[in-house]
Amino acid sequence: MAVGADQHPFHRLIGWLGQWYAEVAGEVELTVQHGYTPVVDLPDAVPFLGHAELQKAMDQADLVVCHGGPATILEARRHGHLPIVVPRDPAYGEHVDDHQQLFTRRLGAAGLISLCESRSELLAALAAGLADRGRFTVSRDVEAVDRQRAAARRVGLIVEELVATARRRHRPWWLPARARWPR
């Protein structure tokens, strides 16, 4: 389970998962990345996982439960999971706005995630996943890694060009305002 790195706690999801785990503790092995949410009753819970650790955990998982962050959803799908997604709700102080709710509702309607906006929906999805381990799998997109790397390279080149252009146009922050700076 991954709640991302947002500074807002996600008590609702952690609480629901803790209650569920208390009932199935002997049947499942659980890895929880809980971010800034305090955790008491969940074993192997860590505030943050490095990228490689999160990739390994997703690769080895039977089910992935996560918040509505696009990157987390994309990574889960890339590892062959139909993620069980609980979007953060600003009404509970879990985020600054409702973009996760809007985003995940669109993905849920398209069948790209299993959207759970209530405790009962999450418990039903987890029960279905335990009963049928293949229920929440999708085809691994091996080519997605190459596309993501190519996109990252393109973004890097764009950023480098923007930085180079900004340096040519603007006086460095450390030069006094009266200093002459060539344009």
Q: Kindly report, residue by residue over 1-33, the tens digit of the pLDDT.
A: 899 888 999 999 999 999 999 999 889 999 999
Examine the domain organization and report whether 108 and 35 are in the same domain: yes
Examine the domain organization and report whether 36 and 126 are in the same domain: yes
Q: Mean pLDDT, to the nearest integer, of 53-68?
A: 94
CA–CA distance, 9 with 147 (Å, rounded to integer): 33
Examine the domain organization and report whether 27 and 94 are in the same domain: yes
Q: Mean pLDDT, to the nearest integer, of 55-60?
A: 93
Report the C-alpha dihedral over residues 131, 135, 141, 144, rounded to 10 degrees: -90
| pTM (two decimals) | 0.77
Helix axes 51-60, 70-78, angle to 10 degrees: 50
Examine the domain organization and report whether 156 and 81 are in the same domain: no
Examine the domain organization and report whether 111 and 149 are in the same domain: no
- How far apart, in Å, are the Cα atoms of 116 and each of 47, 83, 120, 154, 157? 23, 10, 8, 35, 38
Examine the domain organization and report whether 62 and 117 are in the same domain: yes
What is the tally of structural domains in the chain? 2
C-beta of residue 101 within 8 angstroms of C-beta of residue 68: yes
Examine the domain organization and report whether 63 and 106 are in the same domain: yes
For the ranges 25-34, 123-132, 140-149, 170-179, the lowest mean pLDDT is seen at: 170-179
Q: Is residue 5 a part of any domain in this protein?
A: no
Q: Which of the two residues, 136 and 178, has the higher pLDDT score? A: 136
For the ranges 17-26, 105-114, 149-158, 161-170, the lowest mean pLDDT is seen at: 161-170
Q: Is residue 147 a part of any domain in this protein?
A: yes
Examine the domain organization and report whether 58 and 104 are in the same domain: yes
Q: Is residue 4 a part of any domain in this protein?
A: no
Burial class of residue 81 (count of CB atoms within 10 Å of its CB; 0-12, 13-18, 19+): buried
Domain ranges, residue 169: 141-183
Q: Is the pLDDT of residue 37 over 80?
A: yes
Q: Is residue 154 a part of any domain in this protein?
A: yes
Q: Mean pLDDT, to the nearest integer, of 82-106?
A: 95
Examine the domain organization and report whether 157 and 106 are in the same domain: no
Most confident of 20-34, 47-61, 116-130, 155-169: 116-130
pLDDT at 73: 93
Q: Is the pLDDT of residue 129 over 90?
A: yes
